[in-house]
Structure 1
Amino acid sequence: MDSSTHSASGSPHTGAVKLLQSRPAAAVMILILGIGAILFGLALSVSVGAADIGLATVWEAVFRFNPDLQQHQIIRELRIPRALAGALVGACFAVAGAIMQGMTRNPLADSGLLGLNAGASAALALTFAFAPSVSFLYIMVYCFIGAAAASLLVFGIGSLSHSGLTPLRLTLAGAAVSALLLAVSQGVAILFNLSQDIAFWMAGGVGGANWTQLKIMTPWIAGALIAALLLSRSITLLSLGQEVAAGLGQRTRLVQLAGMIVVVILAGAAVSTVGPIAFVGLMIPHITRYLVGVDYRWIIPCSAVLGSLLIVFADIAARMINAPYETPIGALIAVIGVPFFVYLASKRKGEL
């Protein structure tokens, strides 16, 4: 399920022809049905859990909240922020992956595979160790810094070769940097006796999300998603090749810089909330391109919807598979993400 987006283009005319491969009708249908499915998923997510709470009680907790009732407290303070956080971070990971794949023309690009999630994880581990009492806002900002530093390191290492930055070198550099930064995170956790907290967070999950986190992260995520939409046409041209984009008047370096800032914000906000969940940003953009074509004006919003849908229903499954215990979301998604990655790598091995 890969796209011609990442194949070489010989001329601006070729790029223009490729843009005709987009399918707006399919994209509109995905957006409408996807948003409806997300709303259904959010309602279902609020209704299921370790505590057996009927739908009538859920309805009352949402629309006629009584703080004296424990079940209402569970719905309002635990399940609703958890469901909303899942929808937000799913959009973050998916859109970050779509932007990275479009800008780098690397079908294996993803914030997890290219080290951004690991950079945010290392920053968060260091924050837990040296400033455990800071607010969530500072934690999120430190995750931004960690993700940005990791991306610079990955692209720097990948560019060391005389033949330049290729998809294979970028992927290998991302794997190496991710391994290094995850080792740093684990070392800090052991040294400062944070292993249990870090292990729970590294597994990935939205169980710890709360209203305070949502209030802080939502404006950042909303701004980054809006910026991604504004950049979508430029990313489409970049996905056809830098020469094509430059020939059509794009300031490619500026677009790449703006795109990476958006990716860092999306990845940092998501990782600071739910941990380094991988493969969402790898799978969802490929599925979206298969469904709607190669125009990022449709890929980005549809990826956001499908990414939200994946995390919301993965969280529901995580609570139901081994109830009353929870399975980490990251492990569930990896079950399908790893075979998907192997499939893509084997299909593109001649090009990488």
Structure 2
Amino acid sequence: MRAFDGKRSVGIFGLGILLIAITAIVSIMNGTKTISYGSVWDAFFYYDSDNLDHVIIRTSRIPRVIGALFIGAFLAVSGALMQGMTRNYLASPSIMGVTDGSVFVITLCMVFLPGLSSMSLIMYSLLGSAVGACLVFGLARLLPGGFSPITLAILGTIIGTFLGGVSAALSTYFQVSQNISFWFNARLYQMDPAVIKLSVPFAIVGLAIAMIVSRGVTALSLGDDMARGLGMNILWIKGLTMLSVVILTGISVAIAGKIAFVGLIVPHITRYLVGQDYKRIVPFAALIGGLFLAWCDLISRFLNHPFETPIGVVTALFGVPFFLYLVKTRGGGKVD
């Protein structure tokens, strides 16, 4: 375990906050239309509704960077919790079918319950996350060796592909493909600021639960027997952990749709930097996850400038090689 003292922790966290501020400014200034720093300053403190740059900053660029930071943080924390709880280095919301469950239920809503309010959309997205998680982990419990990293990843991929296929078929048959495409192919530039605002209370609850169970997840990451030996209530910890994952993943999908690989990559980077204690992993994963997705969003604006590249393409450019690297170097082993 990597030594990690309190002063170093505060220093790195402070650096992370500074990087977030810099990232936010760079993100607000750059896009299809480049905006000067002076215009950004004026848009914050001397807003003019007749100034097109100010309108773009207030209605598009600011919600976009806030959404990217939020979603990256939520998915990174979710992935870290899943990897610690299952001791599975391949666990993440996108691989374990949690995000596909959200998209599936949102598709059902678009078909059978059109015109839902933003709050209803968030609630159904949370329900979908729970459905996806229950399907994958329920099937894993029924199979011999179902909780091994490779088997669980395969199950998650199968369930996710099935739910995605059914969602696509329903959206095509009922002619709502245009409406549902946002959740299949996340577009950060189309985020609704109202949904971001409504997601904040859920995010606070999800992150608070993550911090509450962090000590228990640290014990679980050492094995169930070790956790029992430390006096942990394993079922209670796992239940709260999955509740946090469902909340954080559900609101991420509700805000911007399905985004893969953030929850896979960032927890590994975080453990390398701060060690195995989830009291540190949870906040640092949130910090690094937000930065990671915000910079992926920036890259997406310039890969095919002036056109936008889907954010999922950018995260996959990092995620697929990282996934293959983990399978090659770690085989079927558990999280150390």
Bucket of the pairwise TM-score, normalised by the shorter protein: over 0.9
Does the CA contact (< 8 Å) of 1:111 and 1:117 recur in 2? yes
Q: Secondary structure at the match of 1:86?
A: helix
Question: Structure 2: how far apart are the matches of 1:81 and 1:346?
Answer: 39
Say which of 18, 23, 27 aligns to 2:4. 23
Question: Structure 2: how far apart are the matches of 1:92 and 1:278?
Answer: 12
TM-score normalized by structure 1? 0.91
TM-score normalized by structure 2? 0.95
Identify the range of structure 1 (25-34 vs 339-348) with the bigger mean alpha-carbon deviation.
25-34
Does the CA contact (< 8 Å) of 2:183 and 2:253 recur in 1? no
Match runs of 1:196-235 below 5 Å: 196-235=178-217
Is 2:265 aligned against 1:283? Answer: yes
- The match for 1:51 is 33
Provide the aligned length of Structure 1 versus Structure 2: 333
- The match for 1:128 is 110
Say which of 128, 138, 141 aligns to 1:146. 128
Structure 2 CA distance for partners of 1:308 and 1:163, relative to 1, 3 Å: closer
Question: Structure 2: how far apart are the matches of 1:127 and 1:304?
Answer: 30
**Unaligned regions of 5+ residues in structure 2, if any?**
none
- The match for 2:45 is 63
Render the CA deviation track for 1:147-201: whole Å, top value 9, x for unaligned: 1011111011111124563223222211111011000111111012122333343
AA at the equivalent of 2:185: A
RMSD across aligned positions (CA): 1.5
Say which of 178, 186, 190 aligns to 2:168. 186
Question: Structure 2: how far apart are the matches of 1:210 and 1:190?
Answer: 24
Say which of 304, 314, 319 aligns to 1:332. 314
Identify the range of structure 1 (191-200 vs 293-302) with the bigger mean alpha-carbon deviation.
191-200
Question: Structure 2: how far apart are the matches of 1:277 and 1:197?
Answer: 17
Say which of 16, 27, 41 aligns to 2:23. 41
Q: After TM superposition, what 4+ stretches of structure 1 lie above 6 angstroms from structure 2?
A: none
AA at the equivalent of 2:192: N
Does the CA contact (< 8 Å) of 1:22 and 1:295 recur in 2? no
- The match for 2:243 is 261
State the 1:303 CA deviation: 0.5
- The match for 1:5 is none
State the 1:29 CA deviation: 3.4
Structure 2 CA distance for partners of 1:350 and 1:320, relative to 1, 3 Å: closer
Does the CA contact (< 8 Å) of 1:98 and 1:303 recur in 2? yes
Structure 2 CA distance for partners of 1:70 and 1:162, relative to 1, 3 Å: closer
Q: Secondary structure at the match of 2:175?
A: coil
